[in-house]
Structures are given as C-alpha cells and as structure tokens.
A and B are shown apart, each in its own frame.
Chain A
Amino acid sequence: MRSRWSYVYFLFYLLLGFVLLFLNNELSKAVITLMNVIIVLVPLIGTIFGVMYYYNSKEFTELLLAQPIKRSSIFLGQYLGVAGSLTMSLVLGLGIPFVLYGLFQSNAIWDFSLLLITGAFLTLIFTALAFNIALSNENKIKGFGYAVLAWLFLAVIYDGLFLMSLIVFEEYPLDSLSLAATMFNPIDLSRTLILLKLDISALLGYTGAIFKQFFGTGLGLVISICMLLLWTVLPIWRLGHIAKRKDF
C-alpha cells in the first residue's frame, strides 16, 4: 500500500517537472515555479504520509514489538522507510525531467540541487514531526488534526504573525529579529535560502538586503544548513525518546 502511494507521488513530480519545463521553456524559470510548489507541498505530503503510515502500520508495530528487536530500531526503521521513499520520489521525479532537458549543460544546476536538498530536508523534517505527533496521540483523528495544524502553522500562519510583528514594531530595528524568526521555521528558512541562491533577493526589499548579507556568505549558508539539520535531528531524537517510554 505504502509503495503504491509513493509511486503516485513519484509520477506526480515527474509530470510536474515536465509540465513546468514545457510551460516555462527555460530551466531557471522552472526552478522558481518549482520552488513555490516544493515549499508548500513537500511539507504537507510529508506530514500526511507520516501520520497515515504510522496509524496504518500500528498492528505491524505491535507484532514487531514482541519480537527480539530494539524499540528504537523499529520506529527509526519505519521513519526512514517513509521519509526515504518520499525523498526518493521527489529527487527522481523532479530530477529525471530536468536532466533530460539538459540540466548538466546549464548554469541552473546549483540552484536546482539546492532546491532538491531543501526539499529532501523538508521531507525529513515534516515526516519526523508527523511521527512525533502520531506517536503522542492514540486517537487517529486528533493526531491527524494536530499534524495538519502544525503544517498550516508553519506554512501559513507563522508568516502572517511574522509580517504582523514587522508592521507593529516597524519603528524598531528588526534585522536580527527577522533573521531569528526565519531560522525558527524550516519552511521560511528553505524559502529564503532558495530565493537568495536564485539571486532575486531584490524582491525582498530592505530585509532582503540584510538577508543577502547574512545568507549570501559562506557562514550564513553553513548556519542555515545546520539549522535544517537541527530541525531534522531534534524530532528524530524525540521520536526515539518517546518510543522507549510508550506502552503498547
């Protein structure tokens, strides 16, 4: 069942890649359109698949728990199974059309790789968050609701709050605040990273300039990647932690 869905997901990206290339007729433009899709869709799919998979394989988990296997290996294995197959679908589904279109001969290759890397990170992060939520909630409907809310918060509401705070406190210098706020949301972080890499930070205005100053340097890039890694590692660590204490 899970493999069937990851094929659908793969085919979706394959189709998306071809359609975007066909419509845009240019690699770098397609990358920009793709970014908007990836930033919102990848976390959503990761969240929903993670929660669905966890609740669907509950019986399987209980069967495994009575066998001589370490608890953390059961849950990490399931997590890596879901997150891994989603990442594969994303990378292959988008990679194939772009490679066929002549990605290696173009200068968009680095932009594109960054896009895929952040996409992979977002998948890992949101699947881990979804597993955390599912593991903490026995009730399927509640778990599903919380997971979707978490996605909605990070993808949409967070930005709204962020903008409102910028308007309310506009008299104060906000560079470091907005930098920090961006860091604490993996979706914002990924978006900023890609936008800056695409060199369209002019669109971001004043803050864009500060961001450019920060993210454009090697240090900024390293810090953002570290933040993404942290966002991945923390939920996975918590996953192992809860799994050890949970009763079945």
Chain B
Amino acid sequence: MIHVENLYKKFGKNQVLSGLDLTIDQGGIFAILGPNGSGKTTLIKAILGMVIPNEGSISVLNTTIKNKWKYRQEINYLPQIANFPGNLKVRELIAMIKDIRQKPSEEENLIALFGLEPFLDKKLSNLSGGTKQKVNIVLTFMFNSPLIVLDEPTTGLDPLALIHLKELIFKEKAKGKTFLITSHIMQFVEEVSDEVVYLLEGKIYFKGSIEQLKTKTEETTFEHAIAAISTYNHHD
C-alpha cells in the first residue's frame, strides 16, 4: 500500500527525518506515534506530497509519487489543524471539495451523524474548534478511498463525537481500508489501532502490535510501554 524508502527531510538546520524506511500493507489501522517534533506530521505530509523530501522515495498504491498528483484521489486526509478559508460557508466548502474530487460522496449521513445541520449556512470563521474538526471529519470521510490518513483526529471533539468517530473508523476498516493515524491520546490509539509505528529522531524505532510493544518493554499497560520506549533511548 505504502512503501517509504530511505527518507530524509531537513527544515533549515533541523533534520526531521533521517533515513526512514516504512512499509504499510493494505488493510488495518496503523498508528504513527512519537514525541512532539519526531516527524509524524512531516512523514504524513511527505506521503501526501505536501512536503518534498530531500532524499528517498515513496510509493503509494505501487506508484512512486514524485511530481505526481493523481494518486491523491485515492487518499482521504484529515489535517491536524482545521485551517479552512474563513469566508466560506460550511455548505460551500463541502460543495467545493466535492467539485474538486469528482467522486460520489455521502456527506448527508455524516452531517446528520455529527449534528452539523444547524451550522451548514454559517461561515467557517464563526465555528468553534470542535465544530470545525467535525466539518473536517465529514470532509475526510465523505469519499470512498482505500487510504485514509488522520492527523490528530480527536482534537477538540466532545465524547459523543469521539464515539461516532471510532464507529466510523471501524466501519471503514471492515471494508478493507487502510488507516494511518497519529494521536497523543494513548487510550484512543489502544482502542483502534492494529499496529503501532514509533518514530524517534527521524527513524522508525519500533513497529509491531501493541502486545509486542508491551513484551518488549516489559510493561503491562500500553501507556507505560510508550513512556518506557521514549525514555529507553535517553539512557543509551
């Protein structure tokens, strides 16, 4: 599904990714974890072609993505910060994205699910952070694509919306889709993810199931296992 080889990325003097290799197979939910600034978002943006790597190659759905853009038709992406043009109404934004993607979409169910009907004719600049995130989720899930990338999907969501989001993720996973998720909420990661990819200093430090991680770190809870793996390195 996704194959990343020897990826290097530097922002100014800051080496974010240094020789990262990663293979993601089709189907299942992969959580990308790591401390702040470990390169999670950079990796995701590189896969989406928004960040141009200094070195290395990425292929999505068996084609290298360099200088290509059509493959993004097969990816649904939820950005970390819902930065929408403030002068658009929610309805206009949804219509615009539909117009760009030219794909069948099912936004009505999603709008109803997250209770967004009263906001459809409001401008995006007047929405609260959580409501913006709900709009963000609707935009991400309304198309049927084999790869779904979620960057911090839980930010600002109320408990009910969080439950809906999890249901949505499981429903799509049952259809055989692949998810890449980053999150700092360990409880959420533990609930949804099949496999964990741990990034540290621009490399994959660990990749495997949560059980494997617990055995490796000899911890009983996932949260402590993650904490242990991040402190491991500091002692070396």
**What residues make up the interface of A, taking CB atoms closer than 8 Å to B?**
1, 57-60, 62-71, 244-248
- Quick check: is B130 within 8 A (CB to CB) of the other chain? no
- Quick check: is B69 within 8 A (CB to CB) of the other chain? yes
B84→A69 contact, CB < 8 A: no
Contact code string B1-24 (vs A, CB < 8 Å = 1, else 0) = 000000000010000000000000
Residues of A within 8 A of B71 (CB): 68
Among B73, B79, B85, B97, contact of A57 (Cβ-Cβ < 8 Å): B85
Within 8 A of A (CB), among B24-50: 45, 48-50
Residues of A within 8 A of B49 (CB): 65
B85→A68 contact, CB < 8 A: no
Among B48, B85, B100, contact of A69 (Cβ-Cβ < 8 Å): B100
| Chain B interface extent, by class | 20 to 34
7 contacts between A and B (CB under 8 A): A66-B50, A66-B77, A66-B79, A68-B100, A69-B72, A247-B11, A248-B50
- Quick check: is B87 within 8 A (CB to CB) of the other chain? yes
Complex: how many Å from CA A71 to CA B73? 14
A67→B52 contact, CB < 8 A: no
Nearest chain A residue, comparing its CB with the CB of B70:
A68
Residues of B within 8 A of A59 (CB): 83-86
Given A66-B50, A68-B70, A248-B51; A60-B85 close (CB under 8 Å): yes
Residue of A59, A63, A64, A244 with most partner-chain B CB within 10 A: A63
- Quick check: is B67 within 8 A (CB to CB) of the other chain? yes
A68→B69 contact, CB < 8 A: yes
Given A59-B83, A247-B45; A67-B100 close (CB under 8 Å): yes
Min C-beta distance of B43 to chain A, whole Å: 13
Nearest chain B residue, comparing its CB with the CB of A72:
B69
| Given A68-B69, A68-B100, 16 new contacts (CB under 8 A) | A59-B83, A59-B84, A62-B79, A63-B83, A63-B97, A66-B77, A68-B70, A68-B71, A68-B72, A69-B72, A71-B69, A245-B52, A246-B52, A247-B52, A248-B50, A248-B51
B50→A64 contact, CB < 8 A: no
Nearest chain A residue, comparing its CB with the CB of B124:
A59
Among B11, B67, B87, B101, contact of A68 (Cβ-Cβ < 8 Å): B101
Nearest chain A residue, comparing its CB with the CB of B77:
A66
Min C-beta distance of B178 to chain A, whole Å: 17
Min C-beta distance of B181 to chain A, whole Å: 16
Complex: how many Å from CA A247 to CA B10? 11
Min C-beta distance of A244 to chain B, whole Å: 7
Among A60, A63, A68, A70, contact of B73 (Cβ-Cβ < 8 Å): A68
Within 8 A of A (CB), among B99-152: 100-101
Residues of A within 8 A of B72 (CB): 66-69
Min C-beta distance of B147 to chain A, whole Å: 12
Given A66-B50, A68-B101, A247-B45; A1-B87 close (CB under 8 Å): yes
